[in-house]
Structure 1
Amino acid sequence: MDCGPKKFYHEHDFDSRDHLETYFSDKPDMEFADDSLKFPMVNFNYTFSSGFVKGDVLIDVSFSSAIHHLYSACDIFKDIIILKVNEKCNMETSRWKDSRTGAFNWKHTSTHATKLEGKSAQVQDKDPQLRTAISHVISCDFENENITHPVVLPFADCITSLWILEAISKDEDDYMRNLEKMSKLLKPGGHLILLGVLNTSYYIVGGEKFHMFGFDESFVKNALRKLGFVIDYYSVQRRKNESKLCDYKASMFITACKTK
């Protein structure tokens, strides 16, 4: 393992496939299943099935090439736009969307999504439905005021974001700037759904140690309130594994409504 300075997900070489295999695969010994697969999918299913988050356009700004949280969303949103700050993750996501050879197999999460919806007895493949709903996979850059510059996107009814803010933010001020830029893509009255980890500092991919900005519950709640969000739903799960590949203490899920 590299013992030098920690790398940044959006600035340095990142092995997207190794990350998926380590943290999101269906391997029997994949120790992160409760935190990286089950916790997100249960909470997203609850949120979208409740009916208070809805609309036509969803923008996803997430870390890595994860798409499993979007199975619940594709039943509601006609247009899902995925933004990626890392080009390798952009290509990995596009490979899955286009059903190209060598794409990561998300079948285990597709099956789980069907079970969460109470349709386990039915033969239903949610992969084609999600692929159809995803209209674009676009590169973005948080150094720009409009992170999708020069592309101008329609305002979203909902933004989903997994782990990206802690992966790209260096400190509290940086987190606030990045959160504000993301929130500008959301229309007033729309919902921001954040999935993150608490009190973290690193994660390891391909033997390389990468930076994670650590914060607690009060920080992220206050950050949202300062930007005009009202929190509708909040859930925390204490870490379920003991791996040394990352050092977070808990997973959090927040649904917040933009009031201005």
Structure 2
Amino acid sequence: MASIDKKKIFQPKDYEKEFDPEAYLQFYYSSKALDDGTRLSLFSLPMFAHIIHQKLPANKRVSLIDIGAGPTIYSAISFRDIVQRIYLTDYVDKSLTMLEDWLYARTSFNWEKAIKVIARTEGVHLKNDKEVNEIEEQTRRTVENGGIYKADVRTKDVLLLNSKDPKPKDKQFDIVVSVFCLESACSTHEEYVSSLKNVLSLLQPGGYLILGSVIDDVIYNSGFSQVGDSKLFSLLNLSEEFIEEQFVKEHMNMESLHKYAI
């Protein structure tokens, strides 16, 4: 076996070619992964959804955009009944295809276990498959109301719209979610600062940002290849202090800051 320091570590420029969304889902969100204890954001997002539901009236939490969702739908599941429109975005075309396959029920990936974990975090015990399916269908409807779009946090407008894309109903959003995206997409701290500004430009005044970050690490395993090798991608090394400094510089309301460590 090769040690980690001798393994190839892919960079942000390699995502379109090297990232395997199916392997990623199997590694982090399959029934086996969740049974083995992988939880990632499945605990924290329902908690933030509950906070926002309590703090914002319905007319102030209409739209949500997930920047860098990858092939995942856990943010949409968590906010399915909190907002009216959910937009899922990613840079990798293969991930966008998987999201569209899920939206139109063409996907082979089973989200049942993740739905049950999120429901339990919400205090709901799902009794049967019908109740699981009802949550998934409600999630689909909310995403249908929004859409699936290509995005690049390193560009000023973030959303990469082409002539065939339906125009989003919203230019800015009441809730912006971005989990494990910026540190994956950026190679330098200067690029991170610029990308964070771009993401924040999508936020409505008075809206909420939910930012999930990997702290003090420089690589992550995106899953295993067909021959069983782990595929490692670089992460920009971040500290909690650095991230909060950027929030202050962007004049965000630090009194409303909530932290959740996983």
Fold match (TM-score > 0.5): yes
**Deviation, structure 1 residue 159:** 0.5
Q: How far, CA to CA, are the matches of 1:233 and 1:45 in structure 2?
A: 14
1:138 pairs, out of 140, 149, 152, with: 149
Instruction: Report the CA distance between 1:43 and its aligned residue.
Output: 3.1
Residues 33 and 6 (structure 1), Cα distance of their counterparts in 2 relative to 1, 3 Å cut? same
**What is aligned with 2:227?**
none
Q: CA deviation at 1:50?
A: 3.2
**Matches for 1:1-260 after TM superposition, within 5 Å:** 3-8=7-12, 10-27=15-32, 31=36, 33-34=38-39, 36-52=40-56, 54-102=60-108, 104-120=109-125, 124=131, 125-134=134-143, 135-150=146-161, 153-205=170-222, 206=224, 207-231=230-254, 232-237=256-261, 251=262
Change (3 A) 1:44 1:146: same
SS of the residue corresponding to residue 159 of structure 2 reads coil
Which runs of 5 or more structure 2 residues have no equivalent in the other structure? 162-166, 225-229
- One-letter amino acid of the counterpart of residue 137, structure 2: P
Distance in 2, matches of 1:186 and 1:67, equals 20
TM (normalized to structure 2)? 0.80
Change in Cα spacing, 1:155 to 1:41, as seen in structure 2 (3 Å) is closer
Give the C-alpha shift of residue 106 in structure 1.
Answer: 1.0
Closer/same/farther in 2, CA of residues 99 and 44 from structure 1, 3 Å limit: farther
Task: Please name the residue that 1:247 is paired with.
Answer: none
2:164 aligns to what?
none
Distance 2:69 2:76 in 1: 13
* Structure (1/2) with the larger helix percentage: 2
RMSD value over aligned CA atoms? Answer: 2.4
Query: Does the 8 Å contact 2:178/2:212 carry over to 1?
Result: yes
Q: Distance in 2 between matches of 1:29 and 1:84?
A: 23
Structure 1 residue runs without a partner (length 5+): 238-250, 252-260
- Structure 2 CA distance for partners of 1:63 and 1:29, relative to 1, 3 Å: closer
Alpha-carbon spacing, 1:109–1:160, altered in 2? closer, same or farther (3 Å) = same
More strand by percentage: 1
**Conserved in 2, the CA contact under 8 Å of 1:16 and 1:64?**
yes
Is the Cα–Cα contact under 8 Å of residues 83 and 137 in structure 1 kept in the other structure?
yes
| 8 Å CA contact retained: 1:90, 1:137 | yes
Instruction: Report the TM-score, using the length of structure 1 for normalisation.
Output: 0.81
Secondary structure of the 1:27 match is: helix
CA distance in 2, matches of 1:203, 1:97: 27
Aligned length: 236
- Letter in structure 1 aligned against 2:74: H
